[in-house]
Amino acid sequence: MANNTKGRRDFMGMALGGFTALGGIGALYAMKRTWDPLPSVKAAGFTTIDLKDVQDNVLVTEKWRGKPIFVLKQSKEMVAKAQNEIGKNGKKSINRLIKIGDNYYMVAVGLCTHLGCIPGYNPEKEDFLCACHGGMYDATANVTKAPPPRGLDIPPFKIDGTKLVLGEAGPEYKKMLADGTTLAV
Amino acid sequence: MAHFEKANSIGEWLDQRLAVETLKRVLQTEYWIPKNINFLWAMGMVLAATFGILLISGIFLLMYYQPNVNLAFDSVNYTIMSQVGYGWLWRHVHGVGASVVFLIIYIHMFTGIYYGSYKKGRELIWLSGMLLFVLFSAEAFSGYMLPWGQMSYWAGMVITNLFSGGSLHANGLVEWIRGDYVPGQAFLNRFFMLHVLLVPLAIIGVIVLHFGTLRIPHVNNQDGEEFDFAEAAELYKAGNVKESKVIPFSPVFLSKDVLVMGVYFLFFFYLVFYHFEFAMDPVNFDPANGLKTPTHIYPEWYFLWSYEVLRPFSTNIGLIAFATAQVIFFMLPFLDRSPNVAPASRRGAFQIWFWLMLLDILVLTFMGKLPPQGIWSTVGLVAALTFFALWIALPIITKFEKKL
Ligand code: HEM
Ligand code: FES
């Protein structure tokens, strides 16, 4: 074939290739967005829980965004114990508690920070054990034995009288985030 | 248009239009297989047949399965198991097939390792085979989600959490994979799509590739002997069948494959009819519950060895160990530095390496099933460390291997 058509063929090849590549990138973006959680999933992210009737050292499990939420009201002795406790990752246990009036509550996502099993609470020993790989937490859900790298994550919360709104970040939660007591969930 | 003569038979008519005679020659009667091989070389066709059985049983399950978090469990455990005529058969065939296919994959892999069938021109056979292993793993995992029992849910939870990368805390990625904060409807639907369409499609494609990579290097033989296939084929075609080192794939070799398959399917259907329960975890007969973890979470037996590599370490090291274990077998052709293509029994230190590796994988498998306590934790840790030590030792011992 004549050499003088080669330049034109190359040009058409590159032009078509360029547009195809652009379209390909666009399609990849669309595919990524299709895998994203739906807006309805994102929006159903608020739950209000009432802490009025919770008993000392009795674990209550609520549900938020499909995840179990642990609520554990601390007795006087438990608060005193938490004052001096430091987790495996160097964080103070006492900072993890939420104070409402004169009462202290542990509120956390009940999924092990290792790989997400639900740890079980032992009220006598006042600790949590994760049966999956043997991780342990104290009564404030601070980590005391690996493999979990940190205490149970604390969900965003806002205090509203004796109620907690989960999913909304109030000043007390923002402080916990800022000093590294919990990571964002 | 090309010129067509009147055909005298259906075969001729097809041959004129599709060149079926050429196809038959290239793919069957003149695709040469060495004589010097044993029943272990039938495992590839056993795998192909098992995949066919999974496909057929899967199609019938698909007629009644409901990919919906409220319906999935009952559609499998009630509708398919007790309402659909012979529904139990498809389910038991599918479950047993998914389990046994891994047993055969492991035999097939270790046969390749033993005879050095991943070297010198056969690297692509090995790499495409490993790709098939990864795809079958994805297929088995996504299928395990579908009955939406307790093990489905919690295996889904734990395995997708691996993608948070430990301290990287990549929750966004985990939620993206799930399409939700926890495994839910979006999760079940997308794993259903992967299980019944995308992954099987990829598997079929890679099986074709795997066969293609065999064509030029040919299959290995029991002595790793390199010989002239063209010459041996001429000898066979000239009628010197006895002296020739090769036989045609079909019908000669295939008839041997079929014998092995026959024995295999006796075993297979014995399991399907009398021992299907080994492939059905009792915990998965409880419907999924996001607020309650089963006491012990463990994967199906074929993932136990890599799970045990993850378990004894802290989060980050465990993740790195697990990720490495998943891909390290891909590296075998490049980490084995010896040019010898020969059975392990003639390769000195490599023979010890082979049996230690096999033993270590068995120990890891048994430990993965036991709860992580006391002496079992220690044995598991030692076996996990041995696994990595063996891979570090491989290039060194093969570098010093005597040339045969
Ligand atoms: C294209 C082929 C396939 C189709 C259409 C298919 C379809 C299905 C369907 C509808 C189910 C849900 C019903 C049930 O749980 O019994 C299922 C389950 C399952 N599939 Fe497949 N499948 C295919 C191939 C495979 C392959 C190749 C494997 C494994 C290597 C596999 C592994 C599994 C597993 C482990 C389950 C769960 C079984 C159970 O718990 O009973 N599937 N499959
Ligand atoms: S998931 Fe809790 S220790 Fe691994």
Domain co-membership, B224 together with B319: no
Domain co-membership, B384 together with B328: yes
The bound ligand whose nearest atom lies closest to the alpha carbon of B191 is: 1
HEC profile for B290-310? CCCCCCCCCCCHHHHHHHHHH
How far is residue A72's CA from residue A70's CA, in Å, rounded to a whole number?
A: 6
Q: Tell whether B22 is covered by a domain.
A: no
Condensed to tens digits (0 to 9), the pLDDT of residues B135-177 reads 999 999 999 999 999 999 999 998 998 888 776 777 789 999 9
Domain co-membership, B53 together with B168: yes
Q: Give the angle subtended at the CA of B347 by the CAs of B346 and B352, to the nearest 5°.
A: 105
**Looking up tokens 């469990």, which residue turns up?**
B73
H/E run at residue B351: helix B349-369
Alpha helices, DSSP H only, in chain A?
A: 6-35, 39-43, 76-84, 171-178
Q: Do B293 and A118 touch (CB under 8 A)?
A: yes
Torsion, CA B338, CA B341, CA B342, CA B347, rounded to 10: 0
Query: What's the pLDDT at A174?
Result: 87
Q: What is the mean pLDDT of residues B55-72?
A: 96
Query: What's the pLDDT at B59?
Result: 96
A43-178 belongs to CATH 2.102.10.10: yes
Domain co-membership, B285 together with B143: yes
Q: Which atom of ligand 2 is nearest to the CA of A117?
A: 1
User: Among the three residues B246, B271, B297, which one is the final residue of a domain in this structure?
Assistant: B297
The interface pTM score, or ipTM, of the predicted complex is 0.76
Q: Under DSSP, is residue A110 helix (H, G, I), strand (E, B) or coil?
A: coil
> Which segments in chain A show pLDDT lower than 70?
1-4
How far is residue A54's CA from residue A58's CA, in Å, rounded to a whole number?
A: 7
Q: Under DSSP, is residue A128 helix (H, G, I), strand (E, B) or coil?
A: strand
Q: Tell whether B25 is covered by a domain.
A: no
B194 contact A CB<8A: no
Q: How confident is the model at residue B101 (pLDDT cuts 50, 70, 90)?
A: very high
B183 in the Ramachandran plot: left (φ > 0), alpha (ψ -120 to 50) or beta?
beta
Query: What's the pLDDT at A91?
Result: 83
Q: Tell whether B226 is covered by a domain.
A: yes
Query: What's the pLDDT at A178?
Result: 84
Domain co-membership, B208 together with B171: yes
User: Among the three residues B297, B329, B362, which one is the final residue of a domain in this structure?
Assistant: B297
- Choosing from A70, A109, A114 the residue with most ligand 2 atoms within 8 A of its CB, the one to mutate for a pocket test is A114
Span from the CA of B294 to the centroid of ligand 2 (angstroms): 12
User: Among the three residues B297, B320, B345, which one is the final residue of a domain in this structure?
Assistant: B297
Query: What's the pLDDT at A171?
Result: 86
A170 pocket-lining for ligand 2 (C-beta < 6 Å): no
Q: Tell whether B305 is covered by a domain.
A: no
Query: What's the pLDDT at A3?
Result: 64
Strand order in the sheet with A60-64: A60-64, A67-73, A103-109, A98-100
Domain co-membership, B61 together with B169: yes
Q: Which of A71, A114, A132 to mutate against chain B (most B CBs within 10 Å)? A: A132
Residue B216 in this model has a pLDDT that exceeds 90: yes
- For residue B116, give the nearest of B334, B332, B335, B341 by alpha carbon: B341
Condensed to tens digits (0 to 9), the pLDDT of residues B323-340 reads 899 889 999 999 999 999
For residue B213, what are the contacts with CB-CB under 8 A and spacing of at least 6?
Answer: B122, B124, B125, B128
Q: How many domains does chain B contain in total? A: 2
CATH number of the CATH domain containing B191 = 1.20.810.10
- For residue B72, give the nearest of B182, B140, B148 by alpha carbon: B148
How far is residue A143's CA from residue A154's CA, in Å, rounded to a whole number?
A: 13
Domain co-membership, B246 together with B334: no
Can you name the residues that pair with A56 across neighbouring β-strands? A73
- For residue B137, give the nearest of B187, B206, B60 by alpha carbon: B206
Q: Do A67 and B175 touch (CB under 8 A)?
A: no
Condensed to tens digits (0 to 9), the pLDDT of residues B360-396 reads 999 999 998 887 777 888 899 999 999 999 999 999 9
Looking at the whole model, is its pTM more than 0.90? no
Domain co-membership, B246 together with B272: yes
Both tokens assigned to A24? 């390909």
Q: Do B184 and A66 touch (CB under 8 A)?
A: yes
Single-letter amino acid, residue A83:
Q
Query: What's the whole-number average pLDDT of chain B?
Result: 93
Distances (CA, A) of B349 to B25, B168, B390, B395: 43, 40, 12, 11
- For residue A70, give the nearest of A164, A174, A4 by alpha carbon: A164
A→B contacts (Cβ < 8 Å), by residue, are: 35-38, 41, 45, 61, 63, 65-68, 111, 114-118, 131-134, 146-149, 183-185
Query: What's the pLDDT at A1?
Result: 52
Q: Tell whether B23 is covered by a domain.
A: no
Domain co-membership, B336 together with B280: no
**CB nearest A41 (choices: B180, B291, B295):** B180
Q: Concatenate the DSSP letters of all residues of B59-86 into one string.
A: HHHHTT---STTTHHHIIIIIIIIISTT
Both tokens assigned to A164? 């907690």
Domain that holds residue B93: 31-297
Domain co-membership, B216 together with B342: no
Domain co-membership, B325 together with B387: yes
Single-letter amino acid, residue B319:
L
Span from the CA of B322 to the centroid of ligand 1 (angstroms): 25
How far is residue A44's CA from residue B234's CA, in Å, rounded to a whole number?
A: 73
Domain co-membership, B127 together with B188: yes
